[in-house]
């Protein structure tokens, strides 16, 4: 009987507590707790990274998420990347130019001149021919020769074909190396752009979630301020209660303004990277669930460091750039060595020349030449250039080794950063759950007059801080995943 009475007493007490809570100002704003709890799931927008081409590392990933669509749009429209693309096209044209030097070159040259004061060969030949005609008694030799040097007109087709010139091979190797270097630089820029726009969008999503969380806090503080005014009017509280309420409201308002500024700045950055107007809307900050982000983080963190480093050393375009630089140094060395060798070319000319244009077999001129050129001595300049080329080759080797070590370090740091960041997820979740429970209890006590305003505001502040901390924590995990994606070259890039 006593047990039944005790249970009945507790039931009545719970009903009274529920009634008091329902009638209290705190109960009227209690949906904020649900808003805060909902925000924990809403910040899972950061999980968009899970489908951003890194769901199965070490393999190419298809475009599946709005964030991937942003990356693809940026790669297609970014102005900086467009400059890199043009530079790559220019380098490819330089390779075609270098290949063209091996083919014959044909040039048409035509000239017609009017002379004054030049030597006429006829002035010397005509008297001699006239004397000869007199001696033989016949007009066998012309006495009206009119020929100037140079001729009044000369029209010819010149054709040149290099037969042996090692410098041409060196120039072609250099052009190919420059093309590869420029292409690798473009892909490096593409990979960096993919990471930058992901981080910028994650910053936008984080700021957006922070704005929503702070906006959900304002009704609590407005209600607290209104209740404080009523208590002062009823003589149940002193003015310092209202002052504290206003100060807390102003503090959150200031945080909200700063979060809105960060959100707008991040949106402008994303639109700049994809070459869109500053105010162009972005995908909403609630697209995928937190489970995807956690699963992706698990898969990334589970990869061995050796596998990530091996993948990076194979796919990082900075290393391809270094290799192209080494080939350029080799081409420079070959060009210097070519200066010690002879060059052989075939040159032919065909045309007409004379005082007038006469196109027939009696007035055409043909010339074919085999040209040999060999630099025997130039004061040691070639030897000095060879030393410079060898030094450049050694410099390129050292640069590649340095870049390789830097890549290893970047991958190791990014891998450790992701694993460390993931350990904070559970801490942030525990902190939010504890702060939510504490706020609920303090809110009930405050509604029943058993807790002071200072306790209520402190619990509210801790709850808001915990919610914001979880947003930032999830963003940090996502950002570390992006860093690892870039460092290990996990994202498949378009051509």
142 shares a domain with 291? no
Paired strand residues for 120: 148
Is residue 155 included in any domain, yes or no? Answer: no
Q: How do residues 111-120 score in pLDDT, each as one tens digit? A: 988 877 777 7
Look at residue 268 and tell me whether its pLDDT is greater than 90: yes
* CA dihedral of 481, 485, 487, 491, whole degrees rounded to 10: -170
More confident residue, 408 or 244: 408
More confident residue, 283 or 422: 422
Is residue 184 included in any domain, yes or no? Answer: yes
Identify the domain containing residue 143 by its residue range: 118-149
Look at residue 449 and tell me whether its pLDDT is greater than 50: yes
* b/e code 458-482 from CB counts within 10 Å (16+ = b): bbbbbbbebbbbbbbbbbbbbbbbb
176 shares a domain with 262? yes
Is residue 159 included in any domain, yes or no? Answer: no
First vs last C-alpha separation in the chain: 82
The total number of structural domains in the chain stands at: 2
Give the least confident one: 40-44, 162-166, 241-245: 40-44
384 shares a domain with 306? yes
- Which of 149, 172, 199 is at the close of a domain? 149
135 shares a domain with 26? no
316 shares a domain with 441? yes
Is residue 334 included in any domain, yes or no? Answer: yes
Residue 40: its pLDDT value, please? 30
Distance CA 266, CA 2 (A): 65
Please provide the average confidence, as pLDDT, over all residues in the chain.
81
Paired strand residues for 369: 347
**Predicted confidence band at 129 (pLDDT cuts at 50, 70, 90)?**
confident
125 shares a domain with 65? no
186 shares a domain with 143? no
257 shares a domain with 392? yes
SS (HEC) of 351-409: EEEECCCCCCCCCEEEEEEEEEECCCCCCCHHHHHHHHHHHHHHHHHHHHHHHHHHHHH
Is residue 227 included in any domain, yes or no? Answer: yes
Which residue do the tokens 């290799």 mark? 323
337 shares a domain with 452? yes
In terms of Cα–Cα distance, which of 226, 252, 255 is closest to 241? 226
Q: How far is CA 140 from CA 136, 137, 146, in A?
A: 9, 9, 17
What is the CATH number for 204? 1.20.1600.10
**Predicted confidence band at 49 (pLDDT cuts at 50, 70, 90)?**
very low
Residue 141: its pLDDT value, please? 86
222 shares a domain with 193? yes
Do 329 and 389 form a contact (C-beta atoms < 8 A)?
Answer: yes
Is residue 363 included in any domain, yes or no? Answer: no
Is residue 201 included in any domain, yes or no? Answer: yes
Do 481 and 426 form a contact (C-beta atoms < 8 A)?
Answer: no
Residue 374: its pLDDT value, please? 92
Is residue 39 included in any domain, yes or no? Answer: yes
**Predicted confidence band at 495 (pLDDT cuts at 50, 70, 90)?**
confident
**Predicted confidence band at 58 (pLDDT cuts at 50, 70, 90)?**
low
Both tokens of 425, joined, read 């997820």
266 shares a domain with 398? yes
In terms of Cα–Cα distance, which of 399, 414, 494, 403 is closest to 186? 494
Residue 448: its pLDDT value, please? 82
Residue 317: its pLDDT value, please? 94
More confident residue, 72 or 65: 72
203 shares a domain with 172? yes
Residue 297: its pLDDT value, please? 64
Residue 387: its pLDDT value, please? 92
Q: How do residues 297-336 score in pLDDT, each as one tens digit? A: 667 777 889 999 999 999 999 999 999 999 999 999 999 9
């Amino acid at each position: 009987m006593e047990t039944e009475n005790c249970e009945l007493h507790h039931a009545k007490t719970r009903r009274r507590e529920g009634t008091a809570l329902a009638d209290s100002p705190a109960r009227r704003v209690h949906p904020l707790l649900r808003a805060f709890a909902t925000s924990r799931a809403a910040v899972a927008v950061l999980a968009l990274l899970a489908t951003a081409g890194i769901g199965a590392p070490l393999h190419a990933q298809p475009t599946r998420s709005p964030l991937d669509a942003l990356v693809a749009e940026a790669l297609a429209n970014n102005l900086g990347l467009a400059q890199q693309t043009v530079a790559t096209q220019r380098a490819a044209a330089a390779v075609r130019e270098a290949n063209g030097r091996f083919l014959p070159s044909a040039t048409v040259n035509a000239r017609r001149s009017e002379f004054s004061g030049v030597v006429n060969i006829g002035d010397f030949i005509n008297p001699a021919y006239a004397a000869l005609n007199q001696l033989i008694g016949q007009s066998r030799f012309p006495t009206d020769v009119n020929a100037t040097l140079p001729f009044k007109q000369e029209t010819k087709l010149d054709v040149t074909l290099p037969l042996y010139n090692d410098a041409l091979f060196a120039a072609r190797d250099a052009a190919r190396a420059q093309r590869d270097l420029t292409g690798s630089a473009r892909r490096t820029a593409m990979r960096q752009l993919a990471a930058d726009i992901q981080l910028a969008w994650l910053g936008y999503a984080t700021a957006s979630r922070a704005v929503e969380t702070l906006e959900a806090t304002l009704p609590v503080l407005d209600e607290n301020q209104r209740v404080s005014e009523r208590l002062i009017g009823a003589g149940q509280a002193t003015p310092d209660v209202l002052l504290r309420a206003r100060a807390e409201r102003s503090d959150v308002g200031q945080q909200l303004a700063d979060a809105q500024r960060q959100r707008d700045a991040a949106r402008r950055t994303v639109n700049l990277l994809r070459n869109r107007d500053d105010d162009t809307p972005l995908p909403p900050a609630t697209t995928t669930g937190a489970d995807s982000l956690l699963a992706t983080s698990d898969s990334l963190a589970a990869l061995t460091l050796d596998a990530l480093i091996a993948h990076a050393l194979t796919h990082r375009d900075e290393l391809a750039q270094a290799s192209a630089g080494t080939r350029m140094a080799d081409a420079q060395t070959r060009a210097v060595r070519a200066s010690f060798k002879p060059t052989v070319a075939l040159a032919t000319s065909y045309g007409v020349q004379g005082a007038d244009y006469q196109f027939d077999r009696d007035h055409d001129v043909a010339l074919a030449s085999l040209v040999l050129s060999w630099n025997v001595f130039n004061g040691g300049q070639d030897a000095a250039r060879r030393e410079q080329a060898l030094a450049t080759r050694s410099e390129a080797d050292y640069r590649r080794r340095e870049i390789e070590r830097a890549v290893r370090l970047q991958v190791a740091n990014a891998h450790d950063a992701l694993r460390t960041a993931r350990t904070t997820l559970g801490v942030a979740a525990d902190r939010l759950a504890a702060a939510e429970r504490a706020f609920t209890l303090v809110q009930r006590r405050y509604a029943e007059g058993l807790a002071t305003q200072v306790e209520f505001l402190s619990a509210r502040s801790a709850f808001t801080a915990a919610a914001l901390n979880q947003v930032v924590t999830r963003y940090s995990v996502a950002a570390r995943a992006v860093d690892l994606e870039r460092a290990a070259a996990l994202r498949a890039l378009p051509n």
